[in-house]
Structure 1
């Protein structure tokens, strides 16, 4: 959340969602309808984003049962909405998993039958009359130690978040336990696509040369084709093509290798594509 409000102006004037659904890496079929929502709805979406990312996380840390439950529900609803609106791989699914810790057994009891709950109540009654084993206290010590470790590792993260020179996604702790992450700090206003084409003409510069386009599995290409929905699966090549559109090939050396494979009609590359116009034919020049 911090990278957003300190980044692009559109997060502060509540207009980012006017562009996001159309310009995100891999839109889904729902992206079209959400993009055409009224401007008031887009502003509400930005406000909801700020609430879910800046305020609601604090509820998870409040030592009150209902506060944790509300915080967990907010995160799940928020991540579900993002999952519906586009193809962001498994990111949102992974983000939802830790929120399960916000819900205690009493809250989740509706998932189980009455017979199961009666058995659990009996076991809990029996366990309450038994002296707690040494392992119980060992676990408590480990829990407190882990909390202290996470609190200590969070110090530079919090300092970075509060700093006027906030830096995101530049360096990460080797154990990947506590880090400063940020996504969509800036929103593009126009969509730029890298279009891959090939020709078998002897003279590709001839005006009569026929150029055929490679079609990717999910990357926007043919404007008459319906967007796909693949989340939580992730077509990494399609995703990388979105980033390649903002840079030159020197910053994306893999793009040169991709073109070389296409020129050789590589079978493996063909499997990564939805349509190779030169499959089982002479390779392009």
Structure 2
């Protein structure tokens, strides 16, 4: 006799396991993460061969030879040809776009789960053999979030997302924000005396179109920026786990502050993925409240594909078991990242497991006070004089003082970032020497990493590199010359060198 009681494991968990007020949050997390995965795989398609391919600046095969499967698991250890990697990346682009469109989410929950896990495996495989060109905190963050959202179920396969998985997404955002806040106040004095933004907009790796304006803002505004940063990263994260509407308000604060960072810099998909995590804090009820006041509340089940916010909490028993298993694994792996937050010697952007499932995050523990740039030049003259050199223009990093800094994020210009580290004096410069070699060879794949080929396909006879000190122009200088930057030469980093000489210096190169 049916007494109306629970009939499945999912029903037994009922009210506490399923988050009935977070259907929109699931859509934001899954579709937003998929969109950024699509961008990340496009970067692999366009940059793998010149950076990490067989003739790349740092071939992935070298990284593979210096590490083990246990330390850096990757399917590319079995097969890592350039064509295979690019084909995998194209597959990642296609599958990511399907998830953005919401097509796998219309089926059973496990279809969505397998799709995200496949993307996680492929992207983790790339990151783990990517060496210096993939040594960024947002690579681990994308891996972590890609794995996490795989266990949120789907609109077609479960009526509501598992609450534990949503809480783990908040735990991820908590580490991103609090980790960044703590590394700042523990690191550079400029964050403590509120002067960090006097420098940061000018000296950050890749300034954006509005960085000049942000830098030229009044100093009192820079103090407000730093103080606001401290509140957002050191106080607001504790509200992520508060009842609604406090959590929704905290999420909105994260979104607004990250949008300011998007407007004033280029940090690949770091800010956008943080925005996705922040928006997922907002409950369906809060979205409805905002929509009512804006007069844009859609009808339930509208063409957007976002489920009805009144959806019930139940779900399949199999998803309960799988989600509990994933949550248990992530909670166990959270011990070291949690301890890192309270450690005196906090690690920044560290992974404690080779699968990059629960990581430590942080950014700009120190702030550069000056900006130096490496300028690469070539010449087709037999014996070049001072007027025979032509500068290579990079896609994102400062070069021509009259070019306004471009907006490139969420796309990731990996070579441009390494050029910033090079100017800071980072160790290990063989990749840069190989870059000069490829320019002397007129290598088409390498030239596509740059903004333009100044020699129109003709290989130069000579290349050289000079070090310049850059600063943003003042308002007066900008009005007079139209220049966004002012620069002066500090030193010759690499004397003029031709192809034969550089080959002899480098030795065997693919």
Q: TM-score range by the shorter chain?
A: 0.7 to 0.9
Q: 1:68 and 2:247 equivalent? A: yes
Q: Measured at CA, do residues 145 and 268 of structure 1 come closer, stay the same or move farther in structure 2, by a change above 3 Å?
A: closer
Q: Residue 222 of structure 1 corresponds to which residue in structure 2?
A: 400
In structure 2, distance between residues paired with 1:223 and 1:99: 36
Instruction: Name the CA shift for 1:153/1:202 in 2 (closer, same or farther; >3 Å).
Output: same
The 3-state SS of whatever aligns with 2:451 is: strand
Q: Give the equivalent residue in structure 1 for 2:287.
A: 108
Shift of 1:51: 1.3
- Which residue does the alignment assign to 1:82? 261
- In the TM superposition, what are the counterparts of 1:172-183 in structure 2 within 5 Å? 172-183=352-363
In the TM superposition, what whole-angstrom CA distance separates every residue of 1:220-272 from its partner, at most 9, and x where no partner exists? 00101111112212222112211111126x61321111100111111222222
2:248, 2:281 within 8 Å by CA — same for their partners in 1? yes
Contact between 2:378 and 2:389, CA under 8 Å: does it hold in 1? Answer: yes
Partner of residue 247, structure 1:
425
Give the gaps of 5 or more residues in structure 2.
Answer: 1-180, 463-510
Cα offset for 1:14?
Answer: 0.5
Q: Tell me how far apart the structure 1 counterparts of residues 266 and 330 of structure 2 sit (CA, whole Å).
A: 31
Kindly report the root-mean-square deviation, in angstroms, between the aligned alpha carbons of the 2 structures: 2.5
Quickly say closer, same or farther: Cα 1:142–1:281, change in 2 above 3 A. Answer: closer
Deviations 1:84-128 (A, max 9, x none): 1111111111112122331222222326424659x958x85xx69
Shift in alpha-carbon separation, 1:95–1:33, aligned structure 2, 3 A: same
Q: Is the 8 A contact 2:440 2:459 kept in 1?
A: no
CA offset at residue 167 of structure 1? 2.3
* 1: CA distance, partners of 2:372 / 2:418: 13
TM-score (norm 1): 0.85
Residue in 2 that maps onto 1:271: 448
Which residue pairs with 1:10 in the alignment? 190
Count of matched residue pairs: 272
Query: Partners in 2 of 1:3 and 1:96 — Cα distance?
Result: 20
Q: Does 1:94 align with 2:273?
A: yes
Q: Secondary structure at the match of 1:192?
A: strand
Within 5 Å, which residues of 2 pair with 1:123-272?
A: 135=316, 139=319, 143=323, 146-204=326-384, 207-208=385-386, 210-247=388-425, 251-272=428-449
Q: Distance in 1 between matches of 2:368 and 2:247?
A: 35
1:21 matches 2:204: no
Structure 2 residue aligned with 1:54, among 229, 234, 247?
234
Partner of residue 43, structure 1: 223
Higher strand share: 2
Q: Deviations over 1:15-66 (max 9, x none)?
A: 000001101111111001000111111011111111111111111112x111
CA distance in 1, matches of 2:216, 2:389: 33
Distance 1:165 1:271, change over 3 A: closer
CA distance in 2 between partners of 1:14 and 1:146 (Å):
41
Residue 140 of structure 1 deviates from its aligned partner by 5.1
Question: 1: distance between equivalents of 2:308 and 2:371?
Answer: 55
**TM-score when scaled to structure 2?**
0.49
Instruction: Considering Cα pairs closer than 8 Å and 6+ residues apart, tell me whether 1 or 2 has the greater RCO.
Output: 1
Inter-CA distance 253–112: structure 2 relative to 1 (3 Å threshold): farther
